[in-house]
Structure 1
């Protein structure tokens, strides 16, 4: 073999483009009869616009010849068959988008989105938020009112038959405690029981009289005090004219002040029927049994009729 010719049946002999070169032409290479490309290629060179939809393609022209155009160019302003838009031919592309056959909405059922349900849900959420804000504001206002009330001292009206207290008032809760009528008291000195003057609330209208002598007294032995602490001793009595005051002794020790027995009913001198009223003191008692004594001592004014005693827990006025 030589460099110029490697013998028959070499790859160079199978070159489809050998006819383009001088040595290939010397060996007898010919262009392909079926058009450009590899042998038996189906490629065909066509003039732009030559193919028509729905018609049989024209036969390929012999190699080297230009295929003749079918028909003549249309008149000015008209589209020729070679350049007609694809949608003008049968089976061509649609000219515009068509809505889905099933209508709007999911699943092609002809229904749109459930805007009514969404609107109702949104309104419900807004309403819930508004109600929640209202509840929070109401609770906040009630808490503020409670704080204001807890920091404000209660206002009490003064009655003409109520004495001025000699100690500070306490807010302890009320507990039901013993009471006693005049006829159950232990009398001392010249003190006696009577019922001539109307208005006593003790059983049978009985009260204690003749206390306006030094050494006269009444004593109450109180049982059932629940615990040590401050208590209020109420006394119901009658006096007329001038204000009175007597000595109060608790568990053998004189109370700090005289028991104020003023004429709070403003009864005329000697009119004990209209002089019934009440007073109070705030002694300190111990748990269990206590002894309370009201006596007429030197310097006291004791012209009173004594009706009842009763106790309340804490320092109260009523």
Structure 2
């Protein structure tokens, strides 16, 4: 035994990696011929691409057929329960969604989805078209109604006429020539501004007992009416007694100088006033008179009626 050596090496002292070093190679160390690592190792070194399948060895790139049945084929070593005596009969359940093609599952029904999508789009288009048609129809109806309705015009003040009866549903109107005069009352046309036919008006009313009467024959219905009177005063206030169907009003009929005419000027004193009265259906009588309690210096031009009562 030479110095530095402990005697012949034993497997326990043998360095499994000695063949990798220079001193190990000098001692004749060899790579293990068995598995990787210590002798007797279960691992075995295989060439690249070499693998064992089912006890058979195949080279890399070669097709290896395993022992047993191929996928989808019955195994020869397997015996079904129904082959044994008294074994239960079994039935093969079809795979969900299966049909032809050996049980292969089918993909999504794209044809059905396409049909559904087309149906939805068609429904939306039909709905929009129906809404547009109805809108046009409503607009046309509204236009027809608008064109068929009479145009509303501004109501003008009634223009009195010489008739004491209503014509075609109109309320009666009157001027000085159609009135029945009493006492010292008469007609004249020398003061300019009267609107009655020919500029004629009732004058000489400033005497107790003077009167003018308007006889009405065809009031359409009983109820409230407004009596309008056009008159003129010489720059001062006046009044008279109003009697309807034989009943005098408790308040004097106001004939104030609303035109603010100067004293003594009848021509600039033309103005109008009104009084709320109740009439019967059919004939009625309206009378203005100068009584002891009245100031009656006034000229009278026109009379007309309006339905309902007017607020002052």
DSSP 3-state at the match of 1:204: helix
- 2:71 alignment partner, one of 61, 86, 106: 86
Q: How far apart are residue 203 of structure 1 and its match?
A: 0.9
Alpha-carbon separation, structure 2, partners of 1:179 and 1:283: 15
- 1:188 alignment partner, one of 163, 182, 196: 182
Alpha-carbon separation, structure 2, partners of 1:267 and 1:249: 28
Alpha-carbon separation, structure 2, partners of 1:99 and 1:105: 11
Give the equivalent residue in structure 1 for 2:248. 254
- 2:110 alignment partner, one of 104, 116, 131: 104
Taking the TM superposition and a 5 Å limit, the aligned residue runs for 1:115-194 are 115-119=117-121, 121=123, 124=127, 176-194=170-188
CA shift digits 1:146-177 (9 cap, x unpaired): xxxxxxxxxxxxxxxxxxxxxxxxxxxxx621
CA shift digits 1:247-298 (9 cap, x unpaired): 1111222112111111222222222222222111122222222221111111
Alpha-carbon separation, structure 1, partners of 2:277 and 2:204: 25
In 2, are the aligned partners of 1:238 and 1:304 still within 8 Å (CA)? yes
Alpha-carbon separation, structure 1, partners of 2:251 and 2:175: 24
Q: How far apart are residue 309 of structure 1 and its match?
A: 1.2
Gaps of 5+ in 1: 1-71, 136-174
Alpha-carbon separation, structure 2, partners of 1:289 and 1:98: 99
Alpha-carbon separation, structure 1, partners of 2:246 and 2:111: 99
1:236 paired with 2:230, answer: yes
1:288 paired with 2:282, answer: yes
Q: How far apart are residue 117 of structure 1 and its match?
A: 4.2
In 2, are the aligned partners of 1:240 and 1:270 still within 8 Å (CA)? yes
Gaps of 5+ in 2: 1-53, 75-100, 139-168
Distance 1:176 1:98, change over 3 A: closer
Give the equivalent residue in structure 2 for 1:266. 260
Alpha-carbon separation, structure 2, partners of 1:232 and 1:285: 10
Give the equivalent residue in structure 2 for 1:219. 213
1:311 paired with 2:305, answer: yes
In 2, are the aligned partners of 1:280 and 1:317 still within 8 Å (CA)? no
Q: How far apart are residue 94 of structure 1 and its match?
A: 7.1
DSSP 3-state at the match of 2:190: coil
DSSP 3-state at the match of 1:236: strand
- Matched residue pairs, number? 194
Alpha-carbon separation, structure 2, partners of 1:117 and 1:261: 83
Alpha-carbon separation, structure 2, partners of 1:317 and 1:205: 30
The TM-score with structure 1 as length reference comes to 0.52
1:301 paired with 2:301, answer: no
1:207 paired with 2:201, answer: yes
In 2, are the aligned partners of 1:180 and 1:309 still within 8 Å (CA)? yes
Comparing both chains, which one has the higher relative contact order based on Cα–Cα distances under 8 Å and sequence gaps of 6 or more? 1
Distance 1:88 1:255, change over 3 A: same
In 1, are the aligned partners of 2:235 and 2:266 still within 8 Å (CA)? no
